[in-house]
Amino acid sequence: MMRIFNGLPVTGPALLAGLALLLAGCAGPRYATEVRYVPPATEAGQACLKGCHTDMQACQADCQSRRQSCIANIEPRVDAAFDQALRQCEAERRVYMRERQYYQLDRTLSFGFYRHPFYYGYPDPFWYTDRYFDDPPVPPEAPSRAAIREQVIDQECSFECGCQPAFDQCYVGCGGQVDRRVVCIENCEGEAPVSRIPARPASTQGGD
């Protein structure tokens, strides 16, 4: 299919490429929080850090155990959510079937007018083409139990265990430093490498 842009014909691929470039040009810069850990210089501080790491591992193990326990008992909630999704899909399917009948009836009546014997032997009028009709209704997509299960797990079994903030506090308490800065990582033209230092930035280190 061809489109006219500023009086010039533009083919589909060229049009899509132009739109992609336009959208890319409109995208703003993206930032990420960079975290740097500076260990303490003293032997006592180094020994203290071992306790921080031990507590961090224990916190993460407890958090993972809570998540697995939640997942082990999630099936009744998954079944309820899946049943609700099936009912919603059935309601949407009935609406789709009704709209499809209207759509087919509209096309039949419109086409029938131009199938009058008066038009036999003549080409169809220029307005008698599929592109001048609205798009047909789209059938609803059947729900996926696996997808719903993942969604329920994400909603019900994701815990903020506070392991990382506790580790950072322990690290500083042992004489170390935790430095954070927000850096631009994409679409950074004209942006400073370090944009700003947030009051409470999210850490990029592992753990919750």
Express each pLDDT in 115-168 by its tens digit: 444 554 455 555 454 444 578 889 999 999 999 999 999 999 998 999 999 999
pLDDT at 18: 54
Contacts of 163 (CB under 8 A, 6+ apart): 56, 59, 60, 63, 207, 208
pLDDT at 125: 52
Higher per-residue pLDDT: 192 or 187: 187
Whole-structure pTM value? 0.57
Return the exposure string of 15-37: e unless at least 16 CB atoms fall within 10 Å of the residue's CB, then b: eeeeeeeeeeeeeeeebeebeee
Length of the chain in terms of residues written: 208
- To the nearest whole number, what is the mean pLDDT of the chain? 78
Q: pLDDT value at position 105? A: 84
Number of C-beta neighbours around residue 52 at 10 A: 19
Per-residue pLDDT reduced to its tens digit, 61-119: 999 999 999 999 999 999 999 999 999 999 999 999 999 998 888 777 765 554 444 55
Neighbours of 183 (CB within 10 A): 16
Tens of pLDDT, residue by residue over 14-61, are 555 555 555 555 678 889 989 999 999 999 999 999 999 999 999 999
In terms of Cα–Cα distance, which of 144, 146, 149, 154 is closest to 89?
144
User: Which pairing describes strands 177-186 and 8-11: parallel, antiparallel, or unpaired?
Assistant: unpaired
